[in-house]
Structure formats: C-alpha cells, structure tokens
Structure 1
Amino acid sequence: MGLTAVTQSFVLAAFLAFCRVGACFMLMPGLSSIRLPLQIRLFTAVAVTVGLLAFLWDKIYPFVDTRPSIFVPMIVSELLVGGLIGAMTRLYMEALRFMGAGIAMLIGYGGAGGPAIEEPEPQAALAALISFSALLLLFALNFHHEVIRALISSYNVAPVNVFFSAQASLVDVTDTISEAFLLVLRLGSPFVAYAILVNLAIGFVNKLTPQIPIYFISLPFVIAGGLILFYFAIPTLLSLFGDGFVETTLAR
C-alpha cells in the first residue's frame, strides 16, 4: 500500500511538471507552430519534463496532494503559469510580426498576402521573411534555453502550493506588450520616416503634374528604395531584436 502511494505521488508530481512545461511549449514561438507535428511537440514537452524533474523534485513532490479539491486547482495553476511564460515570448514575436507587416505596407510591398512560414494566416512576403529570420536568430541565440531557465526559476516566484496570481500576471503581460511594441516601433522607425518622406514627395509631384498617373509611375521606385533601406537595416534590426528578448520577456 505504501509503495502504491509513493508511485501515485511520483506520477502526480511528474504530471504537475508536465502541465507547466507543456503549457509553455504550447504557446512559445517555434514549438507551437502548426508546421511542427503534434507528436514532436508532445514528445519534446515530455522529454524536457523528465529532464527537469530531477532538479525540481524538492519543489514539487512535497506539495503533491491526492485530494481532488487541492490537486485540481494545482493543475489549473500550473497550466496558467506555464501558459504565461509561453505567452510572454509569443507576445514578443507577435510585436515583431506586426511591425513586419507595417514595414511591408510602408514600402509598398504588402499587397497580396502569401503563405506564411510559421503561421496559417496569409502574410506579406517581407513580413514572413522578417519574422522567420528573427525566429531563426532566437533559436541560434539559444532562446529555448532561456525559456527552460525561466521555467526552472518560475518555481521560486510561483511555487506549486501557491495559486496563480492573476493581478501580477496581468501587470507582467501589460509591461511586456508595452516594451515589446515600443522596441519594434524604434526598429521600424527608419521605414516610417521613409514612407512619410517619399509619400510627401510623391504628393508634391502629383500636385505639380496632375495629368500624370503618379501612383503607377512612382510605385516601383518606392518599392526599390524601401528594399534598399531594408537591405541595410535588417542586420541591425535583427540584432537589436535578439538583444532585447531576454530583458523584455523572461527577465520578469
């Protein structure tokens, strides 16, 4: 009977760890993509859970309680904590995806949407290039290691025996959205300035020569100038985006 109780507690402790890890991986960029088969995502979450369980045993096992009135709220809390960590990284990538679509529109290259690489929704080719390049850069910089490190550290901030704090989580989400969108706005500011200047110049030319269809004549030059600016700006844009990932999302 004692052995059965120990085995049951072990399984429940592993399941609690899997709830936090699996919820995080379900929302984080890259691993949550529909391009990745569901079995691979599931086995990755199970493998990481098993690998981390030895380090998190003292923080999970002593608080396991088999009573449904206590264990069910613990499951809900673990899912919410893990989902919050994954959502932080997702919001950061969504901010860049938003700015990528804005850059494509500002330089006149955001007409018909094409198939996105990571997401199922149609996306402008330039926006897909920016978001996918940023995702590759984050993986090259081992951002998935930072996510796992954040999962381990989260047991100090949000222990298993303490229920999920909605107020503190909303504050973290709000701060992350604010900082992420301010960051990508600074990264996209050269394209905003370019769009304002070039459209202002085209408007003046159109006023001077209203008989010329200036839109159709100027569009190739606007796109060409925007792509040249993009060619010189993309290394700095991706570098600053990668540098701001940890302090904007996981440092909380």
Structure 2
Amino acid sequence: MMHFSLSDWLTLEVYRTFLVFVRVGAAFLLLPGFGEPFLPTQMRILAAFAVAVCVAPVVAGMPAALPNNLQMLLGVVAEAVTGTLLGTVSRTVISGVMLAGQVISQNVGLSNVFTAGLAIDETTSLGAMLYAGIVAILFASHGHYLILRSLADSYNLIPPGHFPEVSASARAVIAAGLRCFRSGGQLALPFLLLGLIFNASLAAVNRAMPALPVFMIANPALVMLGLYLLAATVPGLLGHGLEGWSDLPSLLRAAGSVSGG
C-alpha cells in the first residue's frame, strides 16, 4: 500500500485536477453555448475549473503517482487533444443549423457577401439567428447537462493521459460532418424548392416579356415569400436541429478508442 506525505498528496491531487481542467477547458473553447466568442475568457476558465473540481474526484484511471516531466507533458497534450476532439464533434453536429441558415439566406435574397458574420463560424445573420435559437432552447431544456455529462463520461472511453485513437477519431469527425450536411440540406429543402420554382417562373416571364424588369419587381416578392415560409417552418427547424444532440453520445463513443499508451 502506497503512503504519501501531505505535500505529495496535494501535488498529486493538483496534477489530477489539472488534467481534467485541460480536457474540459479545451472542450469549452468549441462547445456550443460555452465556446462562443462573446463570452469573456475569464468566465470560461472559471466554468471549466468548477467542472474540473467536481469531476476530478470521481474519474477512474487517474495516475497513482506523479510522472516524470516528459510523461506529464504528454499527458497534458493528450488531454488537450481529447478535449478538442469532443468540442469539435459537438460543434460540428449543431453546425447543420448554421449551414441551413446560409442556404436559406441565399435562396430568399437575404444574404450579403459583404456583411460580416455574427456567430463563431462567421455565418449570415439568419444563420446566426437560428443558431442563437438553438442554443437558447438547448439551455432552457437543460440540454447543457447532456454536454457536461458527455464530458464526464468521456473518461470511461478515453482514460486520462491517453491519446484518442486516430482512425476512430477521424471516423467520428467525418460522421459528425455527414450529419451536419445532411441536417442542413434537410432543413433548407423547402427554401431550395421555393428558390427553384420562383426563379424558373421568373425565367419564363422574362422570356415572354423581355422588356419587363422582372427581377427588380420580383425580388421583394421573393423576400416576402421567404419570410412567410421561414415563420411557418422555424419551429420545425429548431426542433429538428436539436435532434442531433440525441446522437451525440454515440458519436463520442465512436471516438472513444484509445491508443496503447
């Protein structure tokens, strides 16, 4: 049985908590709601530290003794890589809503290539609005508990100080990307059909009356139709966008293979 002096125990406990803090802090840089650029850095650091203090005592597989300097450095880097992986998968899953907002804006005439984005991914105003709605519903429905629970459960998949297996991590990120593009395409489909039918009709009218400035007359109508369609479909857009969170644990489990050391 190993015995520690008080100073050794405190040093080991500090190192264990720091390992958890590195993983949680790296994830908080990218997690939806936690990793937004308008949040003060101090608040994110304090939130990550609070989560680390709560989670560290119950994490299994923590080092039983202080490693040497090289092993300590590798452990910290491994935790940073793991946290970044978890944040990337989570951010990619929810980015389908912003992708849909980008496509919708282009199809209803609300996009402007000269306008800077409003969200972390520099999306258009409409995409930022949908993303803000998703995040608000996520926190109002206590979905952030799923995020924190996934971070705590990640230690059952990737032990502290271990690098995630590269091929499994790549498959998880690719699966999240496919889910993002599929979700974005499904959410934007009604607006794609609206844009196709409307522009085909304008082409036919312009062919019949070449002297009529059809596009100048019809663009306000397209914006009005797009806004009415958006008002009718936005509850479904937000609800479908949140369904991706039900698949988040399975994607994280897919990334949960670890390397040999």
Q: Which amino acid in the other structure matches residue 43 of structure 2?
A: I
- Structure 1 position 59 matched with structure 2 position 61: yes
1:101 maps to what in 2? 102
Unaligned runs of 5+ in 2: 252-261
* Distance (Å, rounded) in 2 between the aligned partners of 1:232 and 1:59: 51
Deviations, residues 158-211 of structure 1 (Å, cap 9, x unaligned):
112533322211110001100121122111111111111111111101100010
Is the alpha carbon distance of 1:220 and 1:85 closer, same or farther for their aligned partners in structure 2, counting shifts above 3 Å?
A: same
* Distance (Å, rounded) in 1 between the aligned partners of 2:40 and 2:246: 27
* Distance (Å, rounded) in 1 between the aligned partners of 2:91 and 2:157: 21
Q: Which moved more, 1:106-115 or 1:85-94?
A: 106-115
- Structure 1 position 14 matched with structure 2 position 17: yes
Unaligned runs of 5+ in 1: none
Is the alpha carbon distance of 1:135 and 1:115 closer, same or farther for their aligned partners in structure 2, counting shifts above 3 Å?
A: farther
Q: Which moved more, 1:17-26 or 1:143-152?
A: 143-152
2:166 maps to what in 1? 166
Q: Which amino acid in the other structure matches residue 125 of structure 1?
A: S
1:43 maps to what in 2? 46
1:251 maps to what in 2? 250
The structure that is helix-richer by fraction is 1
* Distance (Å, rounded) in 2 between the aligned partners of 1:183 and 1:18: 32
2:86 maps to what in 1? 85
2:73 maps to what in 1? 72
Q: Sequence identity, in percent?
A: 26
2:204 maps to what in 1? 204
2:26 maps to what in 1? 23
Contact 2:61 2:159 in 1 (8 A): yes
Contact 2:206 2:214 in 1 (8 A): yes
TM-score by length of 1: 0.91
Q: Which moved more, 1:169-178 or 1:107-116?
A: 107-116
The secondary structure found in structure 1 opposite 2:233 is helix
| C-alpha RMSD of matched pairs (Å) | 1.8
Please report how far the alpha carbon of residue 131 of structure 1 lies from its aligned counterpart in structure 2 after TM superposition: 1.6
Structure 1 moving runs of 4+ over 3 Å: 112-121
Q: Which amino acid in the other structure matches residue 153 of structure 2?
A: S
Please report how far the alpha carbon of residue 7 of structure 1 lies from its aligned counterpart in structure 2 after TM superposition: 1.4
Q: Which amino acid in the other structure matches residue 98 of structure 1?
A: L
Deviations, residues 209-244 of structure 1 (Å, cap 9, x unaligned):
010111100001111111111110111111111122
Contact 2:82 2:164 in 1 (8 A): yes
Contact 2:94 2:242 in 1 (8 A): no
Please report how far the alpha carbon of residue 115 of structure 1 lies from its aligned counterpart in structure 2 after TM superposition: 5.9
Contact 2:79 2:161 in 1 (8 A): no
Q: Which moved more, 1:178-187 or 1:92-101?
A: 92-101
* Distance (Å, rounded) in 2 between the aligned partners of 1:188 and 1:219: 19
Q: Which moved more, 1:86-95 or 1:182-191?
A: 86-95
* Distance (Å, rounded) in 1 between the aligned partners of 2:161 and 2:35: 28
2:126 maps to what in 1? 126
* Distance (Å, rounded) in 2 between the aligned partners of 1:86 and 1:161: 17
Contact 2:105 2:124 in 1 (8 A): yes
Please report how far the alpha carbon of residue 92 of structure 1 lies from its aligned counterpart in structure 2 after TM superposition: 2.1
TM-score by length of 2: 0.88
